Copies of this chain bind each other. A is one copy, B any other.
Amino acid sequence: MAEREADRSVSHTVRAQLALRDLVLSGRLRPGERISELQAVEITAVSRTPVRMALVRLEEEGLLEAIPSGGFMVKAFSERDILDSIELRGTLEGLAARFAAERGVSSRDLEPLKECLNEIDGLVRQDPISVEAFSSYVALNARFHALLTELSRSPPLIRQIDRASALPFASPSGFVMAQSALPEARQILLIAQDHHRVVVDAIENREGARAEAIMREHARLAARNLRLALRNRTHLDLLPALALVTAG
């Protein structure tokens, strides 16, 4: 709540959208809970009009759900929904990788991607990986996936991937990986990094089918890991669980 006077450049609508999205992703509003406009007005400190615009956008984005009788509530997702979303995104990113490979990319376009890979390498090479390093990894991983998506040079596909990534991969704000889970997480990161390298190689050599296959495999791994995590800690909340996936 320190950004009351910050970002005077952006519109009220956007500010409201950001504030309300954070409200949902932080978990302060539980799934299924109704979010009233009055409440939203108090939180965002703008009037009802931009608040309503933000609510409509968040509904289209998939974070909220319209209540038939009026108003919105935080959308609830089942474990199945999340797992499906992971596979869905993997499929879309597979298509993006194939497009990139088939259409060819210049070495100039690949440069930022490789640089991203190297930065990730630097992080995962530390053996007892630190909590901060893991958080950095999550951000870099998101960057890698975004860059890869861009390589497809297909606006409709990029748009679709953005939408598909909106919910299941929206990193819950303020979440940090538990110290105890770090060694296990590092092993997963190493495999994921291997996938990353393979897909870049496949794109570079214009092997569309291989590029697509590896991204699908990448997603299946993420789904498997999430399933295991949910099994082990019996009542792990879905929201923090999403953060695990974000690392995939």
Q: Does A197 have its Cβ within 8 Å of any Cβ on chain B?
A: no
Q: Does A57 have its Cβ within 8 Å of any Cβ on chain B?
A: yes
With known contacts A57-B56, A60-B60, A81–B156 Cβ distance under 8 A: yes
Bound-state CA distance A62–B163 (Å) is 12
B159 and A80 within 8 A (CB): no
Give residues of chain A (113-166) contacting chain B, Cβ–Cβ below 8 Å.
Answer: 154-157, 159-160, 163-164
Residue numbers in B under 8 Å from A57 (CB-CB): 56, 60
Interface size on A, residues (CB 8 A): 28
Q: Does A241 have its Cβ within 8 Å of any Cβ on chain B?
A: no
Residue numbers in B under 8 Å from A85 (CB-CB): 156
Q: Which stretch in A24-32, A86-94, A182-190 binds the other chain? A: A86-94
Name the distance in Å between A33's Cβ and chain B's nearest Cβ: 19
A160 and B154 within 8 A (CB): no
Name the distance in Å between A13's Cβ and chain B's nearest Cβ: 9
Residue numbers in B under 8 Å from A56 (CB-CB): 53, 56-57, 60
Name the distance in Å between A212's Cβ and chain B's nearest Cβ: 9
Task: Using CB atoms, name the residue of chain B closest to A60.
Answer: B60
Bound-state CA distance A84–B152 (Å) is 10
Q: Does A205 have its Cβ within 8 Å of any Cβ on chain B?
A: no
Q: Does A227 have its Cβ within 8 Å of any Cβ on chain B?
A: no
Give residues of chain A (195-247) contacting chain B, Cβ–Cβ below 8 Å.
Answer: none
Q: Does A95 have its Cβ within 8 Å of any Cβ on chain B?
A: yes
Residue numbers in B under 8 Å from A80 (CB-CB): 154
Fill in one digit per residue for A162-175: 1 if any B CB lies within 8 Å of its CB, else 0: 01100110000000
What are 27 A-B pairs at a CB distance below 8 A? A52-B53, A53-B53, A53-B56, A56-B57, A57-B60, A60-B60, A60-B61, A80-B154, A81-B154, A81-B155, A81-B156, A84-B156, A84-B157, A85-B156, A87-B95, A88-B92, A88-B95, A88-B154, A88-B157, A88-B160, A91-B92, A156-B164, A156-B167, A156-B168, A160-B163, A160-B164, A163-B163
With A84-B155, A160-B164 given, can you name 9 additional A-B contacts, CB distance below 8 Å? A56-B56, A56-B57, A62-B159, A84-B154, A87-B95, A88-B95, A88-B160, A156-B164, A160-B163
